[in-house]
Amino acid sequence: MEDSLKQAIEIVKAQASVRNMNEDEITSMIKALAGSIRGVAEGVAPVVETEPAVDPKNAIREKSVICCECGKSFKVLTKRHLITHGLTPEQYKEKYGYKKGTSLVAKSLARSRRKTMQDMKLWEKRKKAPKAE
């Protein structure tokens, strides 16, 4: 086995020990790292991976959202994280084929937020509030 692959496996093994990773994430991360390590060793600029780290159709899951750029798992894919990839949320959605209204939030979290807002019934409280004149 070549050195770059061994090094990539060690890095991914360390990453997998501190967070949950599925088989697809592990495989794509090993491929990307091995290519980058090989490129650095040969003095060639690392090749930018053009394919997403995870299939965009499966990126928004029940308990997590997987960033299609880096493969990291989040409950909410924030604007702050997307900036690290040089993207705005709108650009990210366009790049990976999401509709403009799609929220980049785990399904369970979106459901609980929706329920909380429905329980608060802010629209009723707003109607009852006396108007200040």
Instruction: List pLDDT tens digits, range 89-125.
Output: 999 999 999 999 999 999 999 999 999 999 998 888 7
Helix (H, G, I), strand (E, B) or coil at 66: strand
82 and 36 part of one domain = no
Please indicate, yes or no, if residue 126 is contained in any of the structural domains.
no
Give me the domain span that covers residue 13. Answer: 1-51
42 and 61 part of one domain = no
* Residue 50: predicted pLDDT: 58
Domain count for the chain: 2
Please indicate, yes or no, if residue 75 is contained in any of the structural domains.
yes
Phi and psi angles of residue 67, each rounded to the nearest 5 degrees, phi first: -70, 125
42 and 86 part of one domain = no
Please indicate, yes or no, if residue 132 is contained in any of the structural domains.
no
Please indicate, yes or no, if residue 63 is contained in any of the structural domains.
yes
For the chain, percent of residues with pLDDT exceeding 70? 89
Q: For helices 3-18 and 23-41, what crossing angle results, to 10°? A: 140
